[in-house]
Amino acid sequence: MSVETQKETLGFQTEVKQLLHLMIHSLYSNKEIFLRELISNASDAVDKLRFEALAKPELLEGGAELKIRLSFDKDANTVTLEDNGIGMSREDVIAHLGTIAKSGTADFMKNLTGDQKKDSHLIGQFGVGFYSAFIVADKVDVFSRRAGLPAAEGVHWSSKGEGDFEVATIDKAERGTRIVLHLKKGEEEFADGWRLRNIVKKYSDHIALPIELPKQVEAAEGEDKPAEEWETVNRASALWTRPRTEIKDEEYQEFYKHIGHDFENPLAWSHNKVEGKLEYNSLLYVPARAPFDLYQREAPRGLKLYVQRVFIMDQAESFLPLYLRFIKGVVDSNDLSLNVSREILQKDPIIDSMKSALTKRVLDMLEKLAKNEPEQYKGFWKNFGQVMKEGPAEDFANKEKIAGLLRFASTHDESGEQSVALADYLARAKEGQDKIYFLTGESYAQVKNSPHLEVFRKKGIEVLLLTDRIDEWLMSYLSEFDGKSFVDVARGDLDLGKLDSEEDKKAQEEVAKEKEGLVERLKAALGESVSEVRVSHRLTDSPAILAIGEQDLGLQMRQILEASGQKVPDSKPIFEFNPGHPLIEKLDNEQSEDRFADFSHILFDQAALAAGDSLKDPAAYVRRLNKLLVELSA
């Protein structure tokens, strides 16, 4: 063994210690995945070398045959995995094996519960890679040298997976990384050629470079020991280049776990070969669960990009829009140059064509999932619905397609689940209904009980109930679906069109004329608090509501802007009253202007509370209400 110099002991980052402890216990039921994870890392290291060697062929150091080798020693109870990929320098080893550099790590750690079953899902989403070695090993040694560095700058990393690790400088003649797992007592099953071969076939058959194991060879006559021979045990061809008819579902699923660093099977996938003006292969996957950093829009995302089967980059984000950032997969183009960069990708017209086609492919895949597997789609929507709602603003060309994939809660379903598709809503629409009605608010309970729905309940008209923070913003981009325009039932002057009979309209006009005096008194009493006062046609049970001006911001958007520190344009609500309500009749008959003003302000504040707004002057509301209660009890 090489002489070790510059030896030092370093502590793991706190998150690594937590992750190691939880992972070893949570993932123990599926121990063999350690090999899949280590082979995936080795495959990535070889891909990176292949890419860097395009510009610097000297990195291959005369050894262009790239491979992964897997061996074992029954007597020593060890398993060794070796690749001749890019390798690591001393700094790389400390950074990659001692810390977790992912954004959102702290949030991820907060979500861990200590419940092994729940945590195993979270850990799977996070991706554990190298640390999975400690599921079966009580000590791990890593010997590595980065391609291009001299042999004297090899590095040896060693740890028992507890609080710290050792790093030393060694001589290492070959570039790449060798990992030696010292198996725990009871894990001897993995120091076995047949067992390792089966795991490789099961999880890593799709890896597009040879994975070799020692071949059992008889000793030649007169030899003490047979010459060591190796055999390739995986198919070693890029999965996405093979015909779909030859690929089993299990192979697609394992390939997804490899590229997605996920532990669960995907919900759906789409594998296509495009020929003609453009030539490329794509294999796209919809994950079953949201990654922990889904809502960090700046987090790394995108597809694995290959050009003529040569790996170019991870997370090439130019091929799909941001609202589809959860999609995993591979795109392999014959039309791009091998020295393509992120900057070139952003300007290349070929990319625009591919992005457009791949986006449609994903939306078609989701449509198919929604149609054929509604329960599965329900799970998809729960995980990715809020991100899909970013779509209409970002992707004008596919706005109608995206709208068809959206799901909402509605007055049709008392469960409050976001399960109503717009096509289903229109199928149930009343005869003569040419609008899609919706109401936004802070919570399902608040919108479900909103006075704005009273006339719709009376007439049996379904209303979509939108309570996600993004919903009002979404509806500002979604003007219509299937030729029917969207109408916010809390905005402007409600017009039900053909759903109101001529008798209804005539009666409304007569009441408005009759109550002109009360309108003027309320305007004077409420003054600067309102932009307008009018008779309401929306109410059947409540005395009053606040409507939003046609061009004004709704409550959700105001709150989002305020929370982000932006200036909110000044606007005042419209006060609408129910002329048939006993409180309004009492108000109309009130002779004292002071009492009339107090009563009007109480009704205004109650309407604001019912809309989910906070009161501008809660103390004044309490004072007026107490004064009224004292008068009533006198």
pLDDT tens column, 488-505: 988 877 777 667 677 777
DSSP E strands, 84-118: none
Residue 517 annotated as lining a ligand binding site: no
Please indicate, yes or no, whether residues 184 and 293 belong to a single structural domain of this protein: no
Structure-token match 């110099």, residue found: 5
Distances (CA, A) of 471 to 438, 525, 555, 559: 10, 34, 11, 13
Dihedrals phi, psi of 330, to nearest 5 degrees: -130, 140
Average pLDDT, integer, range 164-182: 94
Residue 148 annotated as lining a ligand binding site: no
Please indicate, yes or no, whether residues 74 and 112 belong to a single structural domain of this protein: yes
Structure-token match 């809502």, residue found: 295
Residue 104 annotated as lining a ligand binding site: yes
Enter the DSSP assignment of 408. Answer: B
Q: Is 268 inside a domain boundary?
A: yes
CATH code of the domain covering residue 201 = 3.30.565.10
Q: Is 136 inside a domain boundary?
A: yes
Please indicate, yes or no, whether residues 75 and 181 belong to a single structural domain of this protein: yes
Residue 128 annotated as lining a ligand binding site: yes
Enter the DSSP assignment of 326. Answer: T
Residue 129 annotated as lining a ligand binding site: yes
Please indicate, yes or no, whether residues 132 and 268 belong to a single structural domain of this protein: no
- Look at residue 342 and tell me whether its pLDDT is greater than 90: no
- Look at residue 440 and tell me whether its pLDDT is greater than 80: yes
Residue 126 annotated as lining a ligand binding site: yes
In sequence order, what are the residues at sequence separation of 6 or more whose Cβ sits closer than 8 angstroms to the Cβ of residue 142?
93, 97, 155, 156, 157, 158, 177, 178, 179, 180
Beta bridge mates, 330: 283, 304
Amino acid at 598: D
Q: What is the pLDDT of residue 222?
A: 58
CATH code of the domain covering residue 296 = 3.30.230.80
The domain boundary residue, chosen from 477, 495, 513: 495
- Look at residue 120 and tell me whether its pLDDT is greater than 70: no
pLDDT tens column, 59-82: 998 877 899 999 999 999 999 999
Q: What is the pLDDT of residue 439?
A: 92
Structure-token match 């030092």, residue found: 8
Rounded Cα gap, residues 583 and 420, in angstroms: 37
What is the strand order of the sheet 409-410 is part of? 409-410, 464-466, 435-440, 484-488, 480-481
Tokens of 610: 């019912």
Instruction: Please tell me the chain's helix, strand, coil percentages from 3-state DSSP, rounded to the nearest 5.
Output: 45, 20, 35
Tokens of 261: 């660093």
Q: Is 443 inside a domain boundary?
A: yes
Where b means 16+ CB within 10 Å and e means fewer, 464-501 reads bbbbbebbbbbbebbeebeeeebbbbbbeebebeebbe
**Which of 539, 541, 540, 551 has its CA nearest to residue 575?**
539
Q: Is 394 inside a domain boundary?
A: no
Three-state DSSP at 69 gives: strand
Three-state DSSP at 146 gives: coil
Q: How many CA atoms lie within 13 A of 624 on its CB side?
A: 18
CATH code of the domain covering residue 477 = 3.40.50.11260
Average pLDDT, integer, range 188-195: 94
Please indicate, yes or no, whether residues 444 and 559 belong to a single structural domain of this protein: no
Q: Is 388 inside a domain boundary?
A: no
- In terms of residue numbers, what domain contains 460? 406-495
Structure-token match 């479900």, residue found: 448
Rounded Cα gap, residues 243 and 246, in angstroms: 6
Please indicate, yes or no, whether residues 279 and 349 belong to a single structural domain of this protein: yes
Three-state DSSP at 529 gives: helix
- Look at residue 452 and tell me whether its pLDDT is greater than 70: yes
Please indicate, yes or no, whether residues 285 and 185 belong to a single structural domain of this protein: no
Please indicate, yes or no, whether residues 139 and 44 belong to a single structural domain of this protein: yes
Residue 102 annotated as lining a ligand binding site: yes
Work out whether strand 532-535 and strand 574-577 pair parallel, antiparallel, or are unpaired.
Answer: parallel
Three-state DSSP at 407 gives: coil
Where residue 345 falls among pLDDT bands split at 50, 70, 90?
A: confident
Where residue 232 falls among pLDDT bands split at 50, 70, 90?
A: very high
Q: What is the pTM of this model?
A: 0.74
At 253, which helix (H) or strand (E)? helix 249-260
What is the strand order of the sheet 176-183 is part of? 5-11, 164-170, 154-159, 137-145, 176-183, 78-83, 68-73, 211-215, 229-232
Lowest mean pLDDT among 241-245, 406-410, 534-538: 534-538
In sequence order, what are the residues at sequence separation of 6 or more whose Cβ sits closer than 8 angstroms to the Cβ of residue 408?
418, 420, 422, 425, 438, 464, 465, 466
Please indicate, yes or no, whether residues 222 and 260 belong to a single structural domain of this protein: no
Please indicate, yes or no, whether residues 42 and 159 belong to a single structural domain of this protein: yes
**Which of 36, 37, 41, 48 has its CA nearest to residue 306?**
48
The domain boundary residue, chosen from 431, 461, 495: 495
DSSP E strands, 243-385: 268-274, 280-286, 303-307, 310-316, 328-333
Residue 424 annotated as lining a ligand binding site: no
**Chain CA centroid to CA 564, Å:** 22
Residue 125 annotated as lining a ligand binding site: yes
**Contact present, 574 and 549 (Cβ < 8 Å):** yes
Residue 245 annotated as lining a ligand binding site: no
CATH code of the domain covering residue 528 = 1.20.120.790
Please count the structural domains in the chain. 4
Rounded Cα gap, residues 493 and 495, in angstroms: 6
Q: What is the pLDDT of residue 445?
A: 86
**Contact present, 577 and 543 (Cβ < 8 Å):** yes
Rounded Cα gap, residues 275 and 431, in angstroms: 47
Q: What is the pLDDT of residue 103?
A: 46
Rounded Cα gap, residues 48 and 51, in angstroms: 5
Please indicate, yes or no, whether residues 263 and 230 belong to a single structural domain of this protein: no
Residue 260 annotated as lining a ligand binding site: no
Q: What is the pLDDT of residue 632?
A: 73
The domain boundary residue, chosen from 237, 260, 284: 237
**Contact present, 153 and 169 (Cβ < 8 Å):** yes
**Contact present, 280 and 354 (Cβ < 8 Å):** yes
Lowest mean pLDDT among 216-220, 224-228, 282-286: 216-220
Dihedral of alpha carbons 402, 405, 408, 413, sign: positive
Where residue 348 falls among pLDDT bands split at 50, 70, 90?
A: confident
Residue 380 annotated as lining a ligand binding site: no
Q: Is 529 inside a domain boundary?
A: yes
Q: Is 476 inside a domain boundary?
A: yes
Rounded Cα gap, residues 244 and 332, in angstroms: 15
Average pLDDT, integer, range 150-177: 93
Lowest mean pLDDT among 63-72, 115-124, 287-296: 115-124
Q: Is 88 inside a domain boundary?
A: yes
Lowest mean pLDDT among 105-114, 506-515, 540-549: 105-114
Rounded Cα gap, residues 304 and 515, in angstroms: 67
Residue 91 annotated as lining a ligand binding site: no
CA gyration radius, the chain: 33
Question: What is 454-522 written as a DSSP string?
Answer: HHHHHHT---EEE-STTHHHHHTT--EETTEEEEETTBSS---GGGS-HHHHHHHHHHHHHTHHHHHHH
Please indicate, yes or no, whether residues 55 and 168 belong to a single structural domain of this protein: yes
